[in-house]
Amino acid sequence: MNDMRQLTALGRTIEDESFAIIDAEAGAHDFSRAEWQVVRRVIHATADFEFKSLLRFHPEAVRAGIDALKGGSSIVVDVKMIAAGLNEDRLAAYGCSVTSLISDEDVIAAAKAENSTRAIESMRKAHRLGKLDRAMVAIGNAPTALLEVARLVREEGARPALVLGVPVGFVSAAMSKEAVLELDTPFIIARGRKGGSPIAVAIIHALLYLAAEERS
């Protein structure tokens, strides 16, 4: 198997032991083998076993994510924290790139002019530029971005390969994820208030690992 973890021998031992503990403490579950690789990596990143009950997968989500990565898809993110957490070498191995538009001057100007949010306007710009189609869209911080992605799919024909909807928060966070559950687009979401950029990063790294596993 092509080891994408880039760890020392000791680091690999510690990670393997951590996953063994997670498997033992999590107990029985109904996830597929591939889905469990995603769930356990999220638990590993958070030490929070509640994600076992919060994560929801579209039936085609993992397959869509692996295929998108292997096809060199763009990863459109709501905040730069996700981009900062991703392993550039792993992405480069597949020709993937990360798109973050939230700090673009025109996005900021549009948010002010429309009394909107930068997160909303960044997703609108990504759609105008055709960057959402066939992309992996990862929302870890801004529920308004996830609500906008759902709207763009429903009303304006956006066709992402996979939506990762894991924004954290108290205002619209849970609602934004429920909106994604109603889409036909493949998705992975964390229901309720919990989430965050580290969750999105963990999911993407799990999908990268699964893609590497298939390649070997």
Specify the pLDDT at position 215: 78
pLDDT tier at 2 (50, 70, 90 boundaries)? very low
**What residues are paired with 204 via a beta bridge?**
none
List, for residues 149-203, the tens digit of each pLDDT value: 999 999 999 999 999 999 999 999 999 999 999 999 999 999 999 999 999 999 9
Q: Does residue 216 have a pLDDT over 80?
A: no
Question: Who has greater pLDDT, 105 or 214?
Answer: 105
In order, the DSSP letters of 150-208 are HHHHHHH----SEEEE----SSSHHHHHHHHHT-SS-EEEE-SS---HHHHHHHHHHHH
Domains of the chain and CATH, by start: 9-215 (3.40.50.10230)
Q: What is the pLDDT of residue 5?
A: 52
Whether the pLDDT of residue 35 is over 50: the answer is yes
Express each pLDDT in 113-144 by its tens digit.
999 999 999 999 999 999 999 999 999 999 99
Please report which helix (H) or strand (E) contains residue 77, including its range: strand 74-77
pLDDT on residue 1 = 37
Which is nearest to 176 in space by CA: 127, 206, 141? 141
- Structure tokens of 169? 């928060």
Q: Which residues are catalytic?
A: 44
Report the Cα 16 to chain-centroid distance in Å: 23
Strands 55-57 and 187-190: antiparallel
180 in Cβ contact with 26 (< 8 Å): no
